[in-house]
Amino acid sequence: MKNSPLIFLSLSIALCTVTLAKSQSKTEKTILSNTRQHSFSDPKKKDTFTITLTGQSILNGNVSFKIRDCKKTIIYEQKFKAEDLLGDMADVLNSRQQQDTIESRIRKFFNEKNYTSPAIAANDKFYEDNSTKEVWNDIKSNKAAIGFLFSYGYEGTYGIAYSKKKHKVVTYFYSD
């Protein structure tokens, strides 16, 4: 593959696709991408969840996390540095371990255990530091709401769900 500027290795598991792309060009490139279809904004339809790592290297890359509804409209987008996927482990891992951890977290980003239904269980308690009462009550009152939990940043964990009332994705849980 000496003349090929782009080499792809793709792995599909159920409805989840992970793509590792290695390019020889000097421009920003897609290094790793993971896509999964899952019910979210409408329990009867599938939205497309995508996380993409771009840049010149894994450790210095940028991550884009997007959710598109069944009509392909972006309903949620979050961007952050790849190193934010290391959480509080950045200082204790060597360079190779950091790369492996980032790759692993992107591959596992859409694991089924990260989706919750209902988004907020009946016995979950509201904590003022983790949400607003208005958003919490809105999502908790919708028993069909599907939550998605993900982590990035030093120790940040986020819970998001689609608010039928507000017609948009809201953060109903945040912890650091």
Rounded distance between C-alpha atoms, residue 113 and residue 92, angstroms: 27
Residue 1 lies in a domain: no
Residue 30 lies in a domain: yes
Residue 11 lies in a domain: yes
User: CA angle, corner 166, sides to 165 and 172, nearest 5?
Assistant: 95
Along the 176 residues of the chain, how does pLDDT read in single tens digits?
A: 344 343 333 333 344 555 554 444 456 799 999 999 999 999 999 999 999 999 999 999 999 999 999 999 999 999 999 999 998 888 899 999 999 999 999 999 999 999 999 999 999 999 888 889 999 999 999 999 999 999 988 778 999 999 999 999 999 999 87
Strands 62-68 and 29-39: unpaired
Residue 53 lies in a domain: yes
Which amino acid does the sequence have at 117?
Answer: S
Q: What is the pLDDT of residue 91?
A: 87
| Domains identified in the chain, total number | 1
Q: What is the pLDDT of residue 1?
A: 39
- Token pair, residue 100, equals 């492996």
Which amino acid does the sequence have at 176?
Answer: D
Residue 35 lies in a domain: yes
Q: Looking at the whole model, is its pTM more than 0.85?
A: no
Residue 111 lies in a domain: yes
- Any alpha helices (H) in the chain, and if so which ranges? 95-107, 133-141
| Residue range(s) defining the domain that contains residue 31 | 6-175
